Amino acid sequence: MVFSLSSHNVIQYLQVAGLFSLEDGASFDSQLPDCKNRNFVVTQAGQKLLVKQERGLNNEIPHSLFNELLQHQLTQAFPVLRNITALSCTVVHFDEENSILVRNYLDDYQELGSFYWHKGIYPETIAATVGSNLAALHRSTYNRREYRNFMTTAPDGAIRYEFFNPAQGAGFVTPEMFGLMEQSALDFYVLNQRYEILESAIADLACEWSPCCLTHNDLKLENILVHARWDKLDNCLIRFIDWEAAAWGEPAFDLGTLIADYLRIWLSSIIVDETLELEESQQLALIELETLRPSILALTRAYIGAFPMIMEYRKNFITRVVQFAGLALMNSLEQDIKSQQSFNNTQLNILLTSKTLLTMPFESINTVFGVNESEILRPLQKLEKPSVTEREHENLLRIYYEKPRLRGC
């Protein structure tokens, strides 16, 4: 029989597992809200552990939990990944029989989305650090068979779909949905099915799907942690967490998903009024897009600066990032509608924005970044290959020193 965690036995479980000592004592701190899983935070002598238990079908290990363990094993197997600070692993225990995973709780860190909400500032330094770390992950694993083979590992008795294509649009209206959803929520699906150009754009995006590196696949602001003293440290410290959806995928998807979350901050602050034109409502947003653009641009430039070869691998990388941002907006919007059972004017504006990003990506570049594509790629200009004359000059041996110094001076 599978052991079931609760607030009454979680401390005892950790003590039996050898993670906490009986002498020092431990206290149950809180249970993190999660509708389908059991997540607990336990404290002892200043140390905090996050204890997670998930349920799979027929008592199998759920893929989501196994993926977190796999990411830990990946960093242990390939030392080069340990140099990427955002990947620093915190897993300390895994119980396969009971589907329990324990990792250090990063108490000195805060979710990036929460940081933005409470601070009301959007430092370019943080965004640039996120971009460079994400690029390091993609660059290190790009077209590397050993990493791809590692990611195909699946729990015993389970099947892993190696190349799941996330370029999927909103679902279709089924007869069962009419009895479960209000009419306003159903309008979202009706509008989606009405836009044939939108369906075509998503189909093209899926058709060109080219998995080539390890991707997080759920890189939202809430899955990025920033250190509380980020502005006091020599290097801004961040962490990528919740690797439940990690897989072999396409780098533009990760970057587009992250940019979509920045856009949601802006779009969610817009109060849409029927008496105002859409452009007027956007100008009255509580958080203007101009406030967020420097971070979006810093994120993307840092990514390209750390992984310049991506522009040679995928010539249309920027437009695909914009399209995936539109797709991520639509997918998150559908999740909100399913949970809230409503579809209001603000959400309609988000749908129209995602449609524009998906169907007119090149024209939307300036809207998202505030500059054109050539300005986004400006960091690449510093990395251009030197001419033949310059390379020959670099290979010449220097026969004198411009500032000679005597030994001992």
- The matching CATH number, chosen from 3.40.50, 3.40.1350, 3.90.550, 3.30.200, for 10-104 is 3.30.200
pLDDT at 403 (0 to 100): 42
CA–CA distances in Å: residue 320 to residues 179, 289, 378: 37, 21, 18
pLDDT at 402 (0 to 100): 41
Measured distance CA(216)–CA(203) in Å, rounded: 22
* Adjacent-strand bridge partners of 227: 109
Measured distance CA(205)–CA(339) in Å, rounded: 27
pLDDT at 96 (0 to 100): 83
Measured distance CA(23)–CA(313) in Å, rounded: 57
Q: Let me know: does 288 contact 266? Beta carbons within 8 Å.
A: yes
User: Tens place of pLDDT for every residue, the chain, 409 residues?
Assistant: 678 888 888 888 888 888 877 665 555 555 555 545 678 888 877 778 889 888 765 555 667 788 888 888 898 899 899 889 898 777 889 888 888 899 888 888 999 999 999 999 999 999 999 999 999 999 999 999 999 988 887 666 565 655 678 878 776 666 666 666 677 777 777 787 788 888 899 999 999 999 999 999 999 999 999 999 898 877 788 999 988 888 899 999 999 999 999 999 999 998 776 666 666 666 777 899 999 999 999 999 999 999 999 999 999 999 999 999 999 999 999 888 877 777 888 888 898 999 999 999 999 999 999 999 999 997 676 655 554 444 444 454 444 444 444 334 3
Fold topology of 109-381: Aminoglycoside 3'-phosphotransferase; Chain: A, domain 2 (3.90.1200)
pLDDT at 356 (0 to 100): 94
Going by C-alpha positions, the residue among 272, 300, 268 that lies closest to residue 287 is: 268
Q: Let me know: does 351 contact 188? Beta carbons within 8 Å.
A: yes
10-104 and 109-381 share one CATH topology?
A: no
In the chain, how many H helices and how many E strands? 18, 10
Measured distance CA(358)–CA(374) in Å, rounded: 20
pLDDT at 32 (0 to 100): 59
**Domain boundaries along the sequence of the chain:** 10-104, 109-381
- Model confidence over 120-165: pLDDT tens digits? 999 999 999 999 999 999 999 999 999 998 888 766 656 565 567 8
pLDDT at 222 (0 to 100): 95
Going by C-alpha positions, the residue among 328, 265, 258, 330 that lies closest to residue 299 is: 258
Report the b/e string of 61-88 with b at 16+ CB within 10 A: bbbbbbbbbbbbebbeeeeebeebbbbe
pLDDT at 275 (0 to 100): 66
